[in-house]
């Protein structure tokens, strides 16, 4: 059984920093993409950043220059370093793993709340 668990969310002030972690367990394809999504109140879920098994990254324009995604395969963990946080970043952040195998599965974490005070 595959499980993804996020941690690191919390309450921070504008301009502060936070690092989210997502640790996964279970039998997972070695060829995959892991990503961070977020969903604010009354908004759609949007991609924040993603990183492939080989290290290729994509970052949303809204957080470019402020957020960095990375992964440590030895620790089965993906990170999202968030700097210069703004109130607009307030959302539930979800970790996702997607197999790149054709027709392969995807998995979601339970989400972690990030709140940025103004």
Q: How many CA atoms lie within 13 A of 74 on its CB side?
A: 0
Is the pLDDT confidence value at 52 over 90? yes
pLDDT of 101:
84
The model's pLDDT over 88-114, given as tens digits with 9 standing for 90+, comes to: 999 999 999 999 888 888 999 999 999
Is the pLDDT confidence value at 31 over 90? no
Mean pLDDT of all residues belonging to the chain: 95
pLDDT of 106:
92
Instruction: Please give the radius of gyration of the chain, using alpha carbons only, rounded to the nearest integer.
Output: 14
- For residue 117, give the nearest of 18, 16, 32 by alpha carbon: 16
pLDDT of 109:
97
User: What average pLDDT does range 34-59 have in this prediction?
Assistant: 95
Say what the alpha-carbon torsion angle 46, 49, 53, 55 is, to the nearest 10 degrees: 160
User: What average pLDDT does range 19-30 have in this prediction?
Assistant: 91
Tokens of 101: 């195998």
Instruction: Evaluate whether 48 touches 35 at the Cβ level (below 8 Å).
Output: yes
User: What average pLDDT does range 59-87 have in this prediction?
Assistant: 96
The three-state secondary structure class of 107 is strand
Distance CA 93, CA 98 (A): 16
CA 6 to mean position of chain CA atoms: 8
């Amino acid at each position: 059984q595959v499980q993804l668990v996020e941690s690191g969310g919390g309450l921070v002030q504008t301009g502060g920093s936070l690092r989210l972690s997502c640790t996964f367990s279970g039998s997972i394809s070695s060829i995959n993409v892991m990503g961070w999504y977020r969903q604010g109140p009354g908004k759609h879920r949007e991609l924040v950043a993603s990183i492939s098994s080989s290290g290729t990254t994509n970052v949303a324009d809204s957080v470019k220059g402020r957020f960095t995604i990375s992964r440590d395969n030895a620790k089965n963990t993906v990170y999202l370093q968030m700097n210069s946080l703004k109130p607009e970043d307030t959302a539930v952040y979800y970790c996702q793993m997607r197999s790149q195998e054709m027709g392969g599965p995807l998995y979601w974490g339970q989400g972690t709340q990030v709140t940025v005070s103004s």
